[in-house]
Amino acid sequence: MEQIKKGQRLILFPLPFQGHINPMLELANVLYFRGFSITIIHTNFNSLNPSTHPHFTFHSIPDGLSETETSTNNPLLLLSCLNAHCCDPFRNCLANLLSDDGSEEPIACLITDPLFDFTRSVAKSLKLPRMLLRTGGASSTIVYAAFPLLWEKGYLPKQESQLEEPVVELSPLKVKDLPMMNSCDPQGYYQFITEMVNEIKTSDGIIFNTSEDLEEQALTTIRQEFHIPIFPIGPFHKWFPTSYSNSLLSEDESCISWLNTKAPKSVVYVSFGSIAAINEAQFLEIAWGLANTNQPFLWVVRPGLIQGSEWLEKLPQGYLEALNEKGHTVKWAPQKKVLAHPAVGLFWTHNGWNSTLESISEGVPMVCMPNFTDQMVNARYVTDVWRVGLQLENGIERGEIEKTIRKLIAEKEGEEIKDNMSKLKEKTNLSLREGGSSYQSLNGLVNHILSL
């Protein structure tokens, strides 16, 4: 692959949440291996560990968040506090970097997240081009862009009586799949989404962690509607062989030696990402549903996953012992390694975009249990467009869990899904090879950055 000449620096500024940090640092690696020098600006909140990426330069900025703000379970509130408090420290940090006369590397552009809305005015005032990384998929992005239409047509705010109705303009979505957040008031969320879409439309280009081969139709719609350069160059983490850890929680490697003892494609890997939460009753249904399948399972029970619990204390006494090594729980897993392990046959996921894409790039069929926002769109694409998984459509109930897992592991429907998944995996990963769509798009991105 053609390398650019040394001497251009990029500044990357990730939103401080796991699902946004991972793709931003992966993108940083992709661009580093294409010859750019990388500086990462990050907040003190969910601060990054520079030693995990010694080839990057890190700058931390104060975010002024109070303890009440960092512990809120209202994500919109946390985001608006971050946007309010980070503007000045970010401007100062960026201005210092730009005025560093001693540097022999000119700064080519800023790459940040569309949810950091103040970065537009800061970059403009410092005359620095600003590109965005959209950490969600293209398919959910077109749904967000359609919010005014969805409102006008009465699909949003969602009405209980219409949840199963199709959204004819966005087939195959149903009203229940539209990306809302139960904890936020619909008007406030509408405003927030409108601003995000506006940030994208006014940027110097947008990068997606997806590929043309996976989301061609959505990317075509985005090109028609957004009128800015679009670069789908994913899956990012498959560009480089070394797996750098970006985890905010420490990864429990014990699960890899546990997986080594299991038969090929026998293990159900269960993880609901970094934010989703469940209640105690749901936790117990999951525990019994998994146990009743009689399949081995690896379950990420993140501290904070179960409302009102520290960790596993709500499990019935003797539950894990009775499973006799068939069930293994960890607080946080090295997920990409887990999904790539030959023993893993199924991923029960909340369908965050990163998890969805990581599952596709390893060819692991999914049980979908979306929680909020774009997860519902991703899950519908998994089940109804790519047909590489099944969704728990009727809530979390042990009988349904057992039936769904069995279908995927042992029945004919599961065979078709596995077959679809291995074709989708191949198609998606081929896009990174020379001449593939992501390969070409990355060349386009490098040239675009150099032309800014």
- Round to whole Å and give the CA distance between 231 and 441: 6
Q: At what angle do helices 280-293 and 398-410 cross, to 10 degrees?
A: 40
The token duo for 291 is 């146990």
Query: Which stretches does DSSP call E strand in 286-388?
Result: 297-300, 327-330, 344-349, 366-368
Residue with Cβ nearer ligand UDP (37 or 356): 356
| C-alpha distance from residue 239 to each of 1, 242, 311 (Å) | 12, 9, 35
Minimum distance between the CB of residue 126 and ligand UDP, rounded to whole angstroms? 30
Q: Which is nearer to ligand UDP, 251 or 397 (CB)?
A: 251
Across the chain, which distance is largest between two alpha carbons, in Å?
66
Backbone φ and ψ of 269, nearest 5°: -95, 130
DSSP labels, 399-423: HHHHHHHHHHHHSHHHHHHHHHHHH
Q: How far is the CB of 18 from ligand UDP (least distance, A)?
A: 5
* Residue 26: CB minimum distance to ligand UDP, A: 9
C-beta of 212 vs 374, nearer to ligand UDP: 374
Which one, 234 or 352, has the nearer CB to ligand UDP? Answer: 352
Nearer to ligand UDP, 83 or 247 (CB): 247
CB of 93 to ligand UDP, least distance (A): 25
Nearer to ligand UDP, 8 or 371 (CB): 371
To ligand UDP, the closest distance from the beta carbon of 189 in angstroms equals 17
According to DSSP, residue 5 is labeled: P
Nearest alpha carbon to residue 5 among 29, 28, 37 = 37
- Closest to ligand UDP by CB, 38 vs 276, is 276
Cα atoms found within 13 Å of the Cα of residue 360, Cβ hemisphere only: 35
Closest C-alpha among 421, 381, 360, 359 to residue 179: 381
Nearest to ligand UDP of 91, 380 (CB atom): 380
In the complex, least distance from residue 182 CB atom to ligand UDP, rounded to whole angstroms? 15
Cα end-to-end distance, the chain, whole Å: 22
3-state helix, strand, coil in the chain (%, to 5): 45, 15, 40
Task: Name the residue with tokens 């104060």.
Answer: 62
CB 354 within 8 A of CB 22: yes
Q: Which is nearer to ligand UDP, 355 or 431 (CB)?
A: 355
Return phi, psi of residue 410, to 5°: -125, -5
To ligand UDP, the closest distance from the beta carbon of 192 in angstroms equals: 16
Closest CB to ligand UDP among 300 and 449?
A: 300
Q: Structure tokens of 21?
A: 């940090």
369 contacts 290 by C-beta, under 8 angstroms = no
Question: Which token pair is 249?
Answer: 């929680």
CB of 252 to ligand UDP, least distance (A): 8
Peptide bond into 235 cis (omega under 30): yes
Beta carbons of 341 and 138 less than 8 angstroms apart:
no
Q: Which residues make up the interface to ligand UDP (CB under 6 A)?
A: 18-19, 22, 247, 271, 273-276, 300, 332-333, 335-336, 352-355, 358
Complex with ligand UDP: residue 357 or 408, whichever CB lies closer: 357
Shortest reach from residue 270's CB to ligand UDP, in Å: 10
- At residue 278, what are phi and psi to the nearest 5 degrees? -130, 165
CB of 2 to ligand UDP, least distance (A): 29
* Residue 352 beta carbon to ligand UDP: minimum distance, rounded to whole angstroms: 2
